Amino acid sequence: MIRIVGLGPGDPGLLTLGSRESLRAVGRATTVLAPPELVRFLESDGVAIEKTLITDQGLFLRGSSEVIDAFADRIDQRDLGLGVLGNPLSDFLGLPMLLRALERRGIAAEIIPGMPRATLSASITMPLVPLPPGSTHHTWDDLVEIMARLRRSCPWDREQTHASLVRYLIEETYEVVDAIEHGTDAELCEELGDLLFQIVFHSQLATERGKFSVADVIDGLSNKMIRRHPHVFGDVAVADVEQVWANWEQLKAQEATGQSRSSKLDGIPVHMGALQRGQKMQEKAARVGFDWTDARDITEKLSEELRELADARIKAGDLKPEDPHVREELGDVIFTVVNLARRLGVDAEGAMRDANAKFERRFRYMEAYAVGSGRALNDMTLDELEDLWQQAKTAA
């Protein structure tokens, strides 16, 4: 077996963890145009470098069939690593010819992507130059380079994993939502940048492990959008949004992920907010016809669920802690309310956020009014609190 490993831009400090571990596991390798510093680093890392297997490394890299065949003929029965600068999938022009040559000889090949050479603009033989000042308009390549440098030079960034970044991914997502609902365009722009950075961060972690790069993320997303919108990128005609959704679900089912799912409800994140997840499940069920015909039917169901909740409370009495049957019936009430929201075309999670914001605004008004009158809310009677609440409804 030959393991074709990306060596990145050539700086030992930018060799991904996946590439390094792959070469170390094989134990012997030959490199193509690798800088002496990188070769010495690999040797110090326990990789024996064989320097005579490739006759002309430049021609080998460009895809000379003669040089590639000669290399393939020299490979013995032992596993071998082949280190090429950058990412073999993008920086090794001779890769297709090498793979065919290996296949003809019955030699298995495995590709370990590295950091593409285009990721960093600095020379492989010179230290990284400082980035331009903050006022400069940066490019996508600059952002990927900044992320790579952070992982190389910042102690906090080096410690992060996919799991440790989950909380920040969630926080940034909610901050984008806040900016959309309550912020300015400038705030939304900044929060979208913070969210994008999380995507680049996770992609960099995967690149270092030789799994995928941000280019793979973009490529996969672009292909998916083109594939799932044949009415835009193909010759399929659709009459309305419902037909778009029908085509979308059908195309998803034909994909590898869709074929591995046993239920229409598969793929809905377990950790999604309960209201949002409930509405998503109801939407999935509705697309196969399991739905109410009219919103009035749902309101009747809600009345039924409220009666069942009242009955459960009577049976439970004053039991402590919470009675599981009361909890179950209350859950049914909430689930039915979410269904009503969906049927009315309302985002239940968004509606709940609006309700929370309205309550907070009015309650803060009550607190401020109480302070201004020299009293505390907990010193007021229930009737006084109700009067103050009615006043807050008018004012806030």
Sign of the dihedral through C-alpha 347, 353, 354, 359: positive
CA dist 67 to 53, 73, 127, Å?
A: 10, 10, 32
Residue 98 and residue 6 in one domain = yes
pTM value > 0.75: no
Question: C-alpha 361: how far from its chain's center?
Answer: 34
Residue 222 and residue 239 in one domain = no
Could you tell me the CATH number of the domain that includes residue 42?
3.40.1010.10
Least confident of 16-20, 43-47, 192-196: 16-20
* HSE-up of residue 39 (Cα within 13 Å, Cβ side): 13
pLDDT of residue 123 exceeding 50, the answer is no
**Average of pLDDT values for 356-366?**
92
Least confident of 44-53, 140-149, 178-187, 271-280: 140-149
CA dist 340 to 284, 304, 348, 356, Å?
A: 15, 14, 9, 19
156-178 burial, b if ≥16 CB within 10 A, otherwise e?
eeeebeeeeeeeeeeebeebbee
Residue 6 and residue 113 in one domain = yes
The answer as to whether 128 is a domain residue is no
Q: Which H or E run includes 48?
A: strand 48-49
Who wins on pLDDT, 288 or 29? 29
The answer as to whether 241 is a domain residue is yes
Task: Kindly indicate the confidence band of residue 121, based on its pLDDT and cuts at 50, 70 and 90.
Answer: very low
**Average of pLDDT values for 200-212?**
85
Q: Let me know: does 214 contact 194? Beta carbons within 8 Å.
A: no
Residue 244 and residue 330 in one domain = no
The answer as to whether 58 is a domain residue is yes
Residue 11 and residue 111 in one domain = yes
The answer as to whether 125 is a domain residue is no
Backbone angles phi, psi at 264, to 5 degrees: -65, -20
The pLDDT score that the predictor gives to residue 319 is 62
The pLDDT score that the predictor gives to residue 96 is 83
Burial class (CB in 10 A: 0-12, 13-18, 19+), 289: exposed
Residue 324 and residue 391 in one domain = no
Range of the domain at 376: 350-395
CA–CA separation, 204 and 298 (whole Å): 47
Q: Is 28 helix (H, G, I), strand (E, B) or coil?
A: strand
Could you tell me the CATH number of the domain that includes residue 185?
1.10.287.1080
**Average of pLDDT values for 349-359?**
91
Mean predicted lDDT score pLDDT of the chain:
86
Residue 179 and residue 198 in one domain = yes
Task: Kindly indicate the confidence band of residue 134, based on its pLDDT and cuts at 50, 70 and 90.
Answer: low
The answer as to whether 129 is a domain residue is no
Residue 302 and residue 324 in one domain = yes
The answer as to whether 266 is a domain residue is no
Residue 86 and residue 179 in one domain = no
The answer as to whether 124 is a domain residue is no
The answer as to whether 158 is a domain residue is yes
Task: Kindly indicate the confidence band of residue 254, based on its pLDDT and cuts at 50, 70 and 90.
Answer: confident
Q: Let me know: does 111 contact 140? Beta carbons within 8 Å.
A: no
The pLDDT score that the predictor gives to residue 89 is 79
Question: Which residue, chain included where needed, has tokens 């907010």?
Answer: 273
Residue 360 and residue 323 in one domain = no
Q: What percent of the chain has pLDDT over 90?
A: 42
Sign of the dihedral through C-alpha 250, 251, 256, 257: negative
* HSE-up of residue 344 (Cα within 13 Å, Cβ side): 15
